[in-house]
A = this chain, B = another copy of it.
């Protein structure tokens, strides 16, 4: 099976965004706040968004399933407060559940969390439980910077996050570390903030001993791990200078990288440097980069093509990247698809 571990619902009906705009307007004038049931989206509207985009691309590229979550840029945890994020997460996650129910052979759900700057992550536990237990979701997206580019939250290794990690361990679900849109003009969201978020999270993991406290906690760092594989020598050296174990011992039982790297040389480096056991196939379609690379004639984000061209990975290693590692990192994946 070819499993893409990183897809967002970027093609939701426009009424979802209209609802969000009303919700934001309601922050200034409560009279404008929309009731949850004012958002009505039909199954046909969902089908229309999915079939011409994610589902078509799955077919064209030979992907079997996508681990699917709400639009990352849309989470925007910096807007409003915890109540704002709670309603917005509720709605977005429910839509993911509807997509997965309509297309049980194609999508498995991952939830966004109702994070809010300065609010303890404990407030995300109920939504995580709901999504896992009621919707059959298999993971969550965790935003290390709910401030949207000002990085006001404690590092991911801080005890601040531990109650959420305890629940993740209990439910046996991993988190993809994924920032959302940036309200900081310094950071372009998909070109700087996303990649910086990935790099930052990995370095946070190096400096502490989080996985001594949570030996089974698992994170996927998207976008090929930000800058990390390219600077693997720097990170190995920094860990060494700090007296930490090797990165393999220190982090690689718990931290995984996806393959959202949009050119051959990048995927070549990723697969040379990071053990195949720690790489999960992903393309993040329909995502940050939509065009066709004039140098190849193929979509930049057609990452399967780059992996297919790597000739130093064995068939067994490729099977791990495309399939086995997802089942290892997301233990609920097998259960979710078996029940369908």
Residues of A at the B interface (CB closer than 8 Å) are 144-145, 149-151, 153-155, 184-188, 190-192, 195-196, 199-200, 203-204, 206-207, 223-224, 226-227, 229-238, 240-241, 261-266, 268-269, 272-273, 288-291, 293, 300-301
Q: Contact between A261 and B191 (Cβ–Cβ < 8 Å)?
A: no
Q: Contact between A272 and B265 (Cβ–Cβ < 8 Å)?
A: yes
Residue in A151, A192, A290, A291 with the greatest tally of chain B CB atoms within 10 Å? A192
A223 CA to B237 CA, complexed, in Å: 14
A187 CA to B201 CA, complexed, in Å: 9
Identify A192's interface contact among B199, B272, B291, B301, CB under 8 A.
Answer: B199
Q: How far is the CB of A248 from chain B (nearest CB, A)?
A: 11
Q: Contact between B151 and A234 (Cβ–Cβ < 8 Å)?
A: no
A186 CA to B202 CA, complexed, in Å: 11
A289 CA to B231 CA, complexed, in Å: 11
A190 CA to B171 CA, complexed, in Å: 35
A237 CA to B262 CA, complexed, in Å: 8
Q: How far is the CB of A309 from chain B (nearest CB, A)?
A: 13
Q: Contact between A291 and B240 (Cβ–Cβ < 8 Å)?
A: yes
Q: Contact between B235 and A191 (Cβ–Cβ < 8 Å)?
A: yes
Identify A184's interface contact among B151, B188, B236, B272, CB under 8 A.
Answer: B151
Q: Contact between B199 and A195 (Cβ–Cβ < 8 Å)?
A: yes
Residue of B nearest to A207 (CB): B188
Residue of B nearest to A144 (CB): B186
Q: Which residues of B contact A231 (CB under 8 A)?
A: 195, 223-224, 261-263, 266
Residue of B nearest to A229 (CB): B230
Q: Which residues of B contact A150 (CB under 8 A)?
A: 150-151
Q: Which residues of B contact A269 (CB under 8 A)?
A: 230, 265-266, 268-269
Q: Which residues of B contact A155 (CB under 8 A)?
A: 185-186
Q: Which residues of B contact A199 (CB under 8 A)?
A: 192, 195-196, 199, 227
A291 CA to B240 CA, complexed, in Å: 7
Q: Which residues of B contact A293 (CB under 8 A)?
A: 233, 236-237
Q: Which residues of B contact A188 (CB under 8 A)?
A: 203-204, 206-207, 238
Give 27 pairs: A residue, B residue, CB < 8 Å, sorted on A.
Answer: A144-B186, A145-B186, A149-B151, A150-B151, A151-B186, A151-B187, A186-B200, A190-B234, A192-B204, A195-B231, A196-B200, A199-B227, A223-B234, A226-B227, A227-B230, A229-B230, A230-B230, A231-B262, A232-B266, A233-B266, A234-B288, A236-B300, A237-B290, A241-B289, A241-B291, A265-B269, A268-B269
Q: How far is the CB of A173 from chain B (nearest CB, A)?
A: 24
A184 CA to B261 CA, complexed, in Å: 28
